[in-house]
Amino acid sequence: MPSPSTRDSRCRRAILRRFRGAAMTVRAAILGTGMIGEVHRRAALLAGAEVVGAMASTPERSVEVAARWGTAPVSLEDLAVLAPDVVHVCSPNGVHAEHVEAAVAAGAHVICEKPLAVGVDAAEWLARLAEGRVATVPFVYRFHPLVREIRARVVAGEFGRWQLLHGSYLQDWLLSPSATSWRVDSAAGGPSRAFADIGSHWCDLMEFVTGERIESVTAATAITVPERAGGKVDTEDAATVVFRTVSGVLGSVTVSQVAAGRKNRLWFEFDGASRSAVFDQENPETVWLGSEASAEILARDPGRGSGEQRRLSSLPPGHVQGYAQCFENFVADTYAVIGGEHRDGLPTFADGVRSARIVDAVIESARSGQWVAVKEES
């Protein structure tokens, strides 16, 4: 139940909205001010939000970042009084649950970075807690226009029955033994690092585009740099996962954060009975489409293709769109839903729970060496 101060603040804003005769500016608070917090802030501002508060890792750091951002430093306790419309949770994985709980208690909608929580139980609890709110998770690669184009063609039956689903997500930001971050520490980031951090994106994208759902996995993980600047490493640098879907399609994905020269290469090939599609996140302006008789390169074009491809194309052909525009579209769509509109393909806390179940199965399979079923909704 919102506090009296929260209710009063919302009442005042409702009255102002009535007299303005226009949509109210979204008031956003951001918890976590590192690299991804900066990305959230930029996308929020471009979507027309007012950033009304920022919380960093310490009170001192909050004051410093808030001054730079031109907003107020806040704590979790301040959220109820601040009464933001939406809270962006961009903090380390281990505190997501606490921060989402504080946001919901303040009456806010929530955008929470992935993984939604460390463990399936916590993710399921957060999804229940946020029922009735707009609660989204930034699986933002869904928002590449050409990803939506492939998906629309899948829905239209262009690819036929899937034969093989495969790909990779490769980075090199942890290649050096001197490179480290809170993600390396399982106490802060959770028991899975590379797969939970980037493999989760690939699996979400595969299920979103193809309509298939992973039923079971067999996985292997590797720690290739056993010691870093922060000490002994207990989370994986790389992983390979073989999976079968509910309909029996075979697939695989390899992820690594120690692949020299690969900065952020999410790549997939989905092979159907009639056609195949290849997408490379580092070259998102084109996709490869193949058939037995031919192969073609399809370029992003806001004047052609599916409605969603056109809607998400904010720049003319030849003016490269990428990750930043994906994030901007994701946040703008979240805010639109907060305002009562509908948006297709918006990843919600339910998708965050789904991801947690896949991560949990991968961890268990890597530990046991066995095929492990992905938990479904009870």
- 152-187 pLDDT, tens digit per residue, is 999 999 999 999 999 999 999 999 999 999 899 888
Which of 226, 221, 245, 219 lies closest to 362 in space, CA to CA?
219
Encoding tokens for residue 195? 């797969």
Please report the pLDDT score of residue 230 as a whole number: 73
For residue 12, pLDDT beyond 90: no
pLDDT for 23 equals 56
What pLDDT score does 376 carry?
A: 86
pLDDT at position 1 over 90: no
Q: How many residues in the chain?
A: 378
Q: Please tell me the distance from the alpha carbon of residue 352 to that of residue 117, in angstroms, as a whole number.
A: 8
- Domains, the chain, with CATH or none: 4-113 (3.40.50.720), 141-373 (3.30.360.10)
Task: Tell me the Cα Rg of the chain.
Answer: 21
The answer to whether 143 touches 330, Cβ cutoff 8 Å, is yes
Phi, psi angle pair for 109, to nearest 5°: -75, 165
pLDDT confidence of residue 6: 44
122, amino acid identity: A
Q: What is the pLDDT of residue 284?
A: 97
Please give the share of the chain, as a percent, with pLDDT higher than 70: 93
Which residues 6+ apart lie within 8 Å of 242 measured at CB? 217, 218, 219, 250, 251, 252
pLDDT at position 13 over 80: no
> Residue 20: is its pLDDT beyond 70?
no
> And the tokens for 331?
């946040």
Omega before 92 cis (within 30°)?
A: no
pLDDT for the residue 169: 98
Mean pLDDT of the chain: 93
| Whole-number pLDDT of residue 10 | 45
> Phi and psi for 234 in degrees, rounded to 5?
-130, 20
**Residue 18: its pLDDT value, please?**
31
The mean pLDDT value for 47-76 works out to: 97
> Is this model's pTM higher than 0.85 or not?
yes
Q: What is the mean pLDDT of residues 33-54?
A: 97
Residues 250-266: b if buried by 16+ CB within 10 A, e if exposed: ebebbbbbbbeebeebb
Q: Is the pLDDT of residue 21 over 70?
A: no
pLDDT, tens only, 210-265:
999 999 999 999 999 999 987 899 999 999 999 999 999 999 999 999 999 999 99
Structure tokens at 100: 């989402």
Cα 179 from Cα 195, distance rounded (Å)? 18
Query: Residue 41: what residue type?
Result: R
Measured CA to CA, the distance from residue 351 to residue 113 in angstroms comes to: 12
